[in-house]
Copies of this chain bind each other. A is one copy, B any other.
Amino acid sequence: MLTLHHSPLLPTCRKIRLMLREKNIPHALQNEDFWLRDVNFFALNPAGEVPVLVTSQQQIIVSAYAIAEFLDEMYPDVQFFGNSALERAEVRRLTDWFDAKFDREVTQLVLFEKIYKRLMGYGDPSADAIRAGKKNILYHLEYLSYLLQTRNWLAGDYLTLADITAASHLSCLDYLGDVAWEQFPNVKEWYSLIKCRPAFRDLLDDRIQGFRPPAHYMDVDF
């Protein structure tokens, strides 16, 4: 069986969990407090980061990028990257948008400052950073809203890794009550379609000690 080493409120880990569940791949989850720099975990990944996937043959797959591509190649029944080179390019463009640009402009500024900084013992959150992140998220929601005016899903006609990646980031920020859903009704509608998938319900059950999500967080009709 596969084992995924993860941290429950990291978007890059959430998206791999969603892929595993959507593809019906049996797996175990191993929570890693990766900032403690445990030697056994460093032996798996010298970068000291999650997610890390370990196969039943003890093959080690490191980074959300490598794991997502590996899972789609090895378990092709449910495809997450589209049906042509161009569709795959669009899925990867949006995946990169969220895992690089959105991560830098929003997730790191809000989620890292509010939660991981404290867990890691890196001191108090920076109010300036959080303010900047909360301003930046509006531009990203606006772009999602623009895409969803002409598309059922972010990259086209069906659910792909682009949706999974975007929803993973947004779900972590939603845990903190930092997504202005009411201003973007079509984004809210798209998110509620993902939220009601059984694979997604698992994620929403996770809790971080000391941080309680808002009431609407679990609610499909939020």
Q: Min CB distance, A50 to chain B, in Å?
A: 13
Would you call A47 an interface residue if the criterion is a C-beta within 8 Å of the partner chain's C-beta atoms? Answer: yes
- A97 — nearest CB in chain B belongs to which residue? B47
Q: What is the interface of chain A mostly: helix, strand, loop, or mixed?
A: helix
Q: Does A89 contact B (CB under 8 A)?
A: yes
Identical copies in the complex: 2
Hey, what's the 0/1 contact readout for A73-87 against B, CB within 8 Å counting as 1?
110000000000110
On chain B, the residues within 8 Å of A96 by CB distance are 62-63, 65-66
Q: Which one of B66, B73, B88, B89 lies within 8 Å of A93 (CB-CB)?
A: B66
Q: How large is the interface on A (under 10, 10 to 19, 20 to 34, 35 or more residues)?
A: 20 to 34
Q: Is the CB of A73 within 8 A of B101?
A: no
Q: Is there an interface contact between A101 and B66, defined as CB atoms closer than 8 Å?
A: no
**A4 → B minimal CB distance (Å):** 14
Using a CB–CB cutoff of 8 Å, the interface residues on chain A facing chain B are 46-47, 49, 59, 61-63, 65-67, 69-70, 73-74, 85-86, 88-90, 92-93, 95-97, 100-101, 143
